[in-house]
Amino acid sequence: MTHEEAVVLLDSLISPFGQRVRIALAEKGVDYEYKVQDLKNKSELLLKSNPVYKQIPVLMHNGNTICQSLIIVQYIDEVWPDKAPLLPTEPYARANARFWADFVDKKVYECGSKLWKRKGEHHETAKEWVEIFKLLECELGDKKYFGDEAFGYIDIALVPFIVLFYAFEQCAKLSMDEECPKIVAWAKRCMEREGVSNALTDPKKIYEMILSQ
């Protein structure tokens, strides 16, 4: 590997967006240098690499910087096409994969943030959370992964958020297993993948962080 081809990831351990990128890199078997960023005291490197949003994750590759987790995951899929593809090849299937990943960014992230920031009433937030996951369960159906037999783009977009199930269950006395059994089974399947289990944060730790805010 030449110097120009070195891969560097600016990240923060508990970021669901950074986790997407780590999972995608693991699925593709790409080696990279991991640079943890202090988000309360941002480094020159981060400010220079992502001047628009000044956020992690940032992927550095071939002298370029790529920002925004879903765009980074698509980039990874295009640059390392030899390993199993993350996005499907057929245009409609690709559009559908992007639609659901966008849904995760808009709905799952937004609702999860309400609990995280302890905004609004927990039971209302939990009701919305369950409705969102019922829609996702409908899309998953009886498939192994969202893209069918192979773990891929929608799975990567969504899986970092499963660590919030425990916090929702504790805060709102609900059972994700009762509400969305197929999603819970999917989450367990995803966790059997090394790239996923290595990237995600312990759900109990997340719950404690929410409580201590």
Ligand X SMILES: *[C@@H]1O[C@H](CO)[C@@H](O)[C@H](O)[C@H]1NC(C)=O
Ligand Y SMILES: N[C@@H](CCC(=O)N[C@@H](CS)C(=O)NCC(=O)O)C(=O)O
Report d(CA 76, CA 68) in Å as an integer.
12
Tell me: does residue 55 bind ligand Y (CB under 6 A). yes
Which parts of 22-41 interact with ligand X (CB under 6 A)? 41
Binding-site partner at residue 57 among ligand Y, ligand X, none, CB < 5 to 8 Å by type? ligand Y
User: DSSP assignment, residue 96?
Assistant: H
Residues 6+ apart with CB under 8 A from 115: 122, 125, 126, 129, 164, 167, 168, 171, 210
Contact range with ligand Y by CB under 6 A, out of 66-74, 90-98, 134-142, 191-199: 66-74
C-beta of 36: minimal distance to ligand X in Å? 12
φ, ψ for residue 39, nearest 5 deg? -80, -10
Q: Of ligand Y, ligand X, none, which one sits near residue 157, judging by CB under 5 to 8 A according to partner kind?
A: none
Stretch that binds ligand Y, among 10-18, 84-92, 162-170, 193-201 (CB under 6 A): 10-18
Q: Using CB distances below 5 to 8 A depending on partner kind, what does residue 138 bind out of ligand X, ligand Y, none?
A: none
Query: Using the rule CB under 6 A, is 89 a contact of ligand X?
Result: no
The label of the residue with tokens 């240098």 reads 33
Distance CA 37, CA 55 (A): 9
Q: Give the binding-site size for ligand X (rule: CB under 6 A).
A: 2
Element containing residue 42 per DSSP (H, E) = none
Cα 166 from Cα 95, distance rounded (Å): 31
Closer of 24 and 180 to ligand Y (Cβ): 24
**Binding region for ligand Y (CB under 6 A):** 12, 15, 17, 39, 54-57, 68-70
